[in-house]
Structure 1
């Protein structure tokens, strides 16, 4: 690690050239993620020593003014930074305490941290309060120092949090053996994520590596994790148990199954960038409550596209599972964009915060403001996708303290190279006055100049190649949204228009500018009720199935015979049951096999098969199965109303017994629909 940091420091900070992340990753045979992590560490070292940070933008790295210092001077400055920074120092004390075992002394901490006794005693008081907040007790014992007590899960979770917030922990504390273990854990985690078809965010990936390190460190001092018995394993737990011996080989010591479960649950809590749809525990309630949540937000914040955007539904569904896991564990993911959300989407966030009660009541958890702001970002992205964006000629001003000839040369070069609208050239003083009443897209200056609301690029009067690249980069991202209300306001400043002409003018301008605000809003996805799609020819009573597969085939055959699915859909259902057999059994005695829409579904359909003799599906608690509900859908949402109605019925034990004992399709349909709806 340190050697790679040294080489990256020399390449990026001590040479006057630009590097791409991909270029560095190939040179050092590591992932792009690792390079970004290294740059972050270097920036922390540079900041601690009072130097400017490395510019990292759009996959490119460069350092404005090459540094003529030795890398070792940065490393040597780290301890002073740690000891002088109150927050970091207390984080170090916390990790030292929690990695010491059951007991520690003040002298032990003094040797490790090299700080004064008075400073340590003062910090210990605050640290003990923080430990107490996390249900970890520190009690003084005569002649032995301090004794630590608390649940292992609480201790590990606090260690992960403390190390995550300590920017230089591994550089200071981890030895060569520890770093090698971390490299092996990184490869292991990459492979597990790939096999589970998930892609972790960079923050989640780094947090998982810390979870591996904490598990290794706690096991090394004899602190194994102990959990209760498990009836059903999640897909993450299965993956870790199957590779139990590999984890032991990485750690070089015995690892309990409960420790595997702990790491698996940390992975389940992690946020993902993308995930292929796979069944998991609570897949049915997650699907149903996500739909209800979207509907609740759409009612609070009138934006019809929320109900029709499939990307929103899938994104929320993927995010909900790790968010739920974090809430269960009493953890939460800090959202670095919280302030941005509150400033730019205050009303939307307020609507989401009110509507999130739908999730909380159904899932029996609580989501804090950070988790709520993550949900808000999904809805905000729908608004972004549905608002008109076009490129227009950027408005630019030039700030130059030299004479007219210099500013004219710069102006002519800019106009020759870029498609820009130059609003004027100004001295620093006049620019400040002009900017109080105007807002350009970009300020190009030959002298140091700052303006609070607008990006400023400092350039040479003759525009170097580097300057040209920088300007091009900025201009390529300048967009403007056109809103009809703003257009009409501008017109209204200069022209008085008769009321009866306003609507035709607005409509004609909308057509000319390609703005669809005046068009009819897109209606929500139609979701038929259960009584609209369930008929007697989709029900089979007292079917004799010799196996799980026969029961699944029959539920699929009813859908195919009705023209709701292709033959291929039955095979896809069987494959899904093979992979996710445990999760197919949604409650005691009830299974719901299905496949993805693109695997042969032609329309929305539900079939019901009751079995003459119950069949084992492989669920440790909910077997044997007496009722098989076949499901097919052409998207992720249109079937949810009917499915919600059926789920409510199947939660009624009395009705389930009536359905199981019924002898005909007609009898079952009457039980489900009720006499008043027949």
Structure 2
């Protein structure tokens, strides 16, 4: 078996596909020439009969040679793993974080660097990069001369931080989650915990989304390991009393009792509270009919939270001219989601939304409505939502808007949907599917972890999977969770081959967007270096041309603080909150070089002076924005233009 550093040498040689000198390898890995030679000898022995070998030649260096069998071996070894390499600079620091989180005493930078095969300086830099992450988790990194460094914080915070680190290293969504997590808990049999969680799902009649299932599996594993090390969570009597009155407490007790029996450990009330805290933060993939849901089952504070949530929906619906308050399915689903989300935020549990980029690019209008909802949530509940949470809300809102447009009561083919990202994603997908294909009947929605057990050969016409899936003897169409145009064409080809062409529409013309542009509020090939500079320059131009009021620039900057307005593919659409628009228009700016805007690189800025209360126009603009970002020809024209008249979008 190859050691991590030996595997890294193979990664370097395979990526470059040409010779490396021993000195270059030594410099890249921060090791000596002698160590390089020793490692190369070991790797040669490991590669025997694999179809690949390491060759060396004076003047040329060291390189990999392989045949087709060897290429398959290397692809599987280096590219097919579920864990990010510990030698990868982007993830290496998280392996260091694991060492710090697992250490009960001070640990020296030298011992960390030796274990990671990196220099002491590199280890120090990685540790410094981890400080903001630890602070976000409520932990303090203590440094002491001659002793080293250690992490200080409550037991619950240390556990949450470790779960977060493992999430950043492992790609664990799918049916093989136990195998992927096992290397992080070598002294535990993860399959036993897997069986406990599956038994809990069946016993209590709920299904966790794949991401939440994996999350709970990690936390249960951490609980057992920490208890074995003599580490227990402190008891908060007030929190414990509140938990014991909730319906989920029975699930928590069931899992805790099973963990105690299976691993011969004792879970204190503090440990059970910690488990309950994480259980409440999960996303349960269940569809609750509005007419059967009982609000009183969710704790004493449900009534007040519901009233506040209804006010938010009513306010947002009024602002965007949408009937959000009238959608009981949205109200229930988001109410349950909010309670879980507030629990995570309260305990500093940060879950990344794996669909964030797709939501930002495909659901531009829904994301804008969700950002407004997030602003109202902050005012009402004093909770700061990040981009991941706003994307969750956008999916629920997207589902609601799709349901509103959907046609009903048509005979249909029967399908089963396999969806791995939780209730918001599955609701959005099902609703959009219903609008585009009202004749399709959805038999059931299942997570990928249960697909092979719950989908029979004769129970549906075909399966729609939003995650990669193959089922023996069953037709599976793999589609995007956003159900884009290509996916719709694929489904249309399957159920109505003769009508396929009806879905192909000419979206390469953007009349609403370009009708609102003017040379007077356009700036081309600008030298701005930051989003603040762009917003200030464009904002002053809009104010000067009497499109917006004074205060517009400050409002735009506040809107950016809530969530960046970059939407992918080089575009950003900065705009203010309501109350500043004097005249409708779209200011256009292009940049000579891209700048960082949130997590994106941006070179085309469309600053909006649009009243969000003009619903149809607002939705049309955002629809065209979502479409134009996918039009490479249009992007090229815009970037090359010297004036608005140079942009001629083809039919």
TM-score where L is the length of structure 2: 0.47
